[in-house]
Every structure is written in C-alpha cells, then in structure tokens.
Amino acid sequence: MPPTVKTLYFCELMGIMQTALEIAKYILPALIVLAASYLIVQKFLVSQTQRKQLALFQDAQDVTLRLRLQAYERLVLFIERINPRQIIPRLYDSSMTVKDLQHAIVITIRAEFEHNLSQQIYVSKNVWETVKNVKEQEINMVHNISKALKPDAPAKELHAKILDYSASLEDELPTDVALHIINEEVRRVLSYGSV
C-alpha cells in the first residue's frame, strides 16, 4: 500500500523534528556556555571597574589628606609666629618707638595671615574662623596696649607691656586655644578621614 499523504507528512515532520533535536543538542549547550561566559566576564569587568574606581578614590583621598595636613601645619606655624612670645623678639629693635613696634607687629600679622589665606580651602569652617579671630584678637591687643603708651616712647615699653599682659592672663592665650582646636581637628581627620 502506498504511503498516504498523512504518513508522508508525518514522516517529514518526524524528520524535521529529529533534525531540530540534533541541532538543539548542539546549540542549547553552546547557548548555555555563551550565557555563562557572558555573565562571568560581565562580573569580572564590573569588579575590575569597581576596584579601579576604589583605587582612584583612595589615591584622591590620600592626596586630599596630605593637602589638609599641610594646611593644618601652615596654620599652626602661623599661630605660633603671631604668638606674642614669638613675634615681639623677632621684630623688636632697641631703636624702635612704641609706634614703630606696633606698626611692625600689625603689618607682620596681616602679612602672615594673607600668606595663608588659601589654607581655608582645606580646613573646617570652625578652624578657619578660629584662626581669623586669633589674628584679630592679637591685633586688637597690640592696639589697646599701645594706646596706653606714648607713641614716641621706646619700643621696650610696648614689648614689656605685651609680655606682662600675656603672662597675666588667667585663661589661655588666644593662640594657645587656637592650637588646641587645630590639634583636635587634626586628630579627628587622622582618625576618621574627614571632619
């Protein structure tokens, strides 16, 4: 009996299915391997990118920390240099008058401050405000003590009065308070990375 159309159609369909199954036997594992490879490579690339970003961030943090510490160092140096016990012996000359020494102290304090203006970028607002206030307090102290003296009197009188005033303070000098505030912030920065 000759094969019928249904039988031929069924045989052809079976042949196509066998071919499809044969192709699927090879393609399906290949697709699984491709998908797994893609996921592994993707995770590797993402992890590498994250590592590089973290390394760049840490490098930037290291640079920033160095710049901040240098700023604190410069501000400490500024505070030390305007301390009455430091600035007067550095500027005092026996041929000066009270007015000359007053002028020299004020100009030196302002010049030192202006030289350190850029440091405000790297320190907290609290530290910068403290530094500005100390500068103003030192200048006001020199002006107020100078007012009690004759402008043409020998500079040694102003020298002695400023040192006596500094020694007579029951509280710490403004410069000492500022140094304490800066040192506390530096400890926090070194401990936690930022303030």
Residues 144-173: tens digit of each pLDDT: 999 999 999 999 999 999 989 888 877 788
Q: What Rg, from alpha-carbon coordinates, does the chain have?
A: 39
Q: Residue 140: pLDDT above 70?
A: yes
| Domain presence at residue 52 | no
DSSP secondary-structure letter at 2? P
Rounded distance between C-alpha atoms, residue 57 and residue 67, angstroms: 15
Q: What are the residues whose beta carbons fall under 8 Å from the beta carbon of 69, sequence distance 6 or more?
A: 186, 189
| Domain presence at residue 21 | no
Residue 143 near residue 99, CB atoms below 8 Å:
no
Report residue 194's pLDDT band, with 50, 70 and 90 as the boundaries.
low
User: H-helix or E-strand containing 147?
Assistant: helix 125-147
**pTM for this model (two decimals):** 0.69
pLDDT tens, 58-114? 766 777 888 999 999 999 999 999 999 899 999 999 999 999 999 999 999 999 999
Question: What's the domain count of the chain?
Answer: 1
Q: Which domain holds residue 104?
A: 65-192
pLDDT over 70 for what percent of the chain?
94
| Domain presence at residue 139 | yes
pLDDT tens, 12-60? 778 788 888 888 888 888 888 888 888 888 888 888 888 888 777 776 6
DSSP secondary-structure letter at 154? B
Q: Which two tokens stand for residue 69?
A: 């510490």
Q: Which two tokens stand for residue 53?
A: 């970003």
| Domain presence at residue 20 | no
Q: Residue 1: pLDDT above 60?
A: no
Mean pLDDT on 112-119: 95
Report residue 136's pLDDT band, with 50, 70 and 90 as the boundaries.
very high
Rounded distance between C-alpha atoms, residue 165 and residue 135, angstroms: 17
- Position with higher pLDDT, 1 vs 162: 162
Task: Map residue 134 onto helix, strand or coil.
Answer: helix
Rounded distance between C-alpha atoms, residue 128 and residue 122, angstroms: 9
| Domain presence at residue 152 | yes
Rounded distance between C-alpha atoms, residue 43 and residue 37, angstroms: 10
Residue 137 near residue 45, CB atoms below 8 Å:
no
| Domain presence at residue 147 | yes
Q: Calculate ∠ Cα 168-145-166, nearest 5°.
A: 25
| Domain presence at residue 60 | no
What backbone torsions phi and psi does residue 97 show, to the nearest 5 degrees?
-100, 175
Task: Map residue 153 onto helix, strand or coil.
Answer: coil
| Domain presence at residue 169 | yes
